[in-house]
Structure 1
């Protein structure tokens, strides 16, 4: 995925989001970002309700200064292990114990190494979920991008009447934040896109505690 010059409208943000089987998008912005970019950003991201099966990917994208590429991080539900719910973090698929209310952080650790961490915002638990090294000359994180909700098993082929088979999910995307003084993050209201628009009982709302909530799909469905 390549970033465009403008992120000021829903239409321009949609062009950045996965064109595979993503369903929901939600753009974000951060004010007062230095010209060199941010050295860290944290995305509150809580899966309020979803079956304990593989398939959903809840993610946030971010772009870097002096780079045409887009990174992403997020959470994926997995089947229970030993009777307990499991989440996996991305970019590296490392199984983690449930963390309750969660956030995912991307932070520079040195000049070119960036580290992803899943955080339990109530428990304080921190789980390393991946890291990578960027080329020399690439700066920090830019001031805006977008998140998404994807049902990725359909990327390999769809069952008949696939939209009606989408499992139910409810997710909270909180306002992003950073340690850079004076910067304030905002998560915009979610919207539908893709080939199931108007067919998956999509709903959205702003939350008094900050951020936005979205839900879609149907309880009892498994996507197949």
Structure 2
């Protein structure tokens, strides 16, 4: 499956230590991680290593393939190794993932032909004997060059290895002196080369090797996420986060009306996500090859797969194009509005920054419970760009419904994450204040062909209204043009009124006055009014 070679610049070696760290492994038998070692007087070799058995129990193994090997530790060893000559020793031993363990091959002190295998947790003084066997006389000492490997010994018909495994091996060292060797030639081998998701990397001098299936599915998609037809122009968003909840990547797919069927949207969106996301893959897993491909026409087989080793968190959401969760109509106020009421809507972004605002003065004829949301809805729809008011149909079209107190809702686009606030003010809560830039504050008698232009801007400087009145020759003197223009402007402006405010708060144009006709605007609207004469 996968292997590496090692070399040491040493001779007369009577003991070698091989450090192993298991990063990820299945909790069932199948994998074998080992280092080989050779003898200067023999052609055959030995193994020392470990095999997963359960989540934390491993079989540690110490084997010789040298013809004529004799068993010394009869409690843990037997003759024969992997169906060949030699002897093999094993025992169960607790292994913790991420912890380095030291596997040592050591020559006996009383008999130079006896070799022992030991294992211990790095930093511990307690070692555990795996086994012992005796080689034929003349087998010599340990060689300075050999190899190590990962194998999957279960029968696999197709080369698709269903479990991921990752280990880190540190260069072996001479036990007596601590002199460390080095690795070279990390590689794949065997009939499944190129088919086991082999990957290696260096961590300093250590070699990290990964093999086997790394893609797992634990995150809802297809019918497990939503079992049904989506609304037209729905948004599906997949966000990928690391173990510290840091966003690694995110993408949103808009599903048009032609792809909203429960049999269509999973495959349609999966293909787009696969083109834009690198950390996950969507589709159906082929258990024979390990490949993940989008399955057309399926409501449940397309799933999200992620790398088991990356410890990723995947969050998937489906949102309609338009959402409503901001009070309006009866949800805002149930009943008739008071005379002189006004309704204000402010729209802010996710950071709380104002995007747009608008105030509608409600005429007395439209203050009834069944009319005010209809009237103001039309006005807001004409003035605001970020929201719509009305009733949403199956095609996502939003239109005002007349004569209703509750059906007209505020709709905003789900992907914009807006904060929308509607408020109702009585006349006293939102009084008229004057902007006294009119009448003789601007000019005296005007020449023929004069025009008066008024611009009304929002608190953000956005132009809300602009109108121009041409003054006829008979209304050019300082006492006539202000009331004439005021009457004309009052018929077309919605945000301001020109005239004199009476004791009952009504505003009326004063005929023949050059200074009593003032521009009035609602206090809470925070408008800017500009007047110019051309």
Greater Cα radius of gyration, structure 1 or 2: 2
Residues 163-218 of structure 1: per-residue CA shift (max 9 Å, x gap): 2234100011111001354843112252111111111111111112x321110111
SS at match of 2:154: helix
Structure 2 CA distance for aligned equivalents of residues 115 and 150 of structure 1: 23
Match of 1:188 among 165, 184, 188: 184
Instruction: Name 2:146's counterpart in structure 1.
Output: 145
SS at match of 1:139: coil
Instruction: Name 2:21's counterpart in structure 1.
Output: 46
Deviation at 1:121, TM superposition (A): 0.7
Deviation at 1:65, TM superposition (A): 1.1
- Say whether residues 1:88 and 2:88 are aligned partners: no
The higher-RCO structure (CA 8 Å, 6+ apart) is 1
> Is the contact made by 1:189 and 1:205 (CA closer than 8 Å) also made in structure 2?
no
SS at match of 1:66: coil
Structure 2 CA distance for aligned equivalents of residues 79 and 180 of structure 1: 33
Instruction: Name 2:52's counterpart in structure 1.
Output: 77
Match of 2:94 among 93, 97, 109: 97
Q: Which runs of 4+ in 1 moved over 3 A?
A: 122-125, 179-184
SS at match of 2:49: strand
- Which sections of structure 1, spanning at least 5 residues, go unmatched? 1-22
Q: How high is the TM-score relative to the length of structure 2?
A: 0.33
Instruction: Name 1:67's counterpart in structure 2.
Output: 42
Q: CA RMSD in A?
A: 1.8
- Say whether residues 1:57 and 2:32 are aligned partners: yes
Deviation at 1:63, TM superposition (A): 0.6
Structure 2 CA distance for aligned equivalents of residues 124 and 211 of structure 1: 23
Structure 2 CA distance for aligned equivalents of residues 124 and 150 of structure 1: 30
Equivalence map 1:103-142=2 (5 Å): 103-110=102-109, 111-142=112-143
Structure 2 CA distance for aligned equivalents of residues 166 and 190 of structure 1: 22
- Say whether residues 1:216 and 2:211 are aligned partners: yes
Structure 1 CA distance for aligned equivalents of residues 31 and 8 of structure 2: 26
Deviation at 1:123, TM superposition (A): 3.9
Question: Aligned pair in 2 of structure 1 residues 97, 41: CA closer, same or farther (>3 Å)?
Answer: same
Whichever structure has more helix as a proportion of its residues is 2
Structure 2 CA distance for aligned equivalents of residues 54 and 38 of structure 1: 33
Instruction: Name 1:206's counterpart in structure 2.
Output: 202
Moved more, 38-47 or 164-173: 164-173
> Is the contact made by 1:173 and 1:187 (CA closer than 8 Å) also made in structure 2?
no
- Which sections of structure 2, spanning at least 5 residues, go unmatched? 63-88, 217-286, 288-534
How many pairs align? 186
Structure 2 CA distance for aligned equivalents of residues 181 and 170 of structure 1: 29
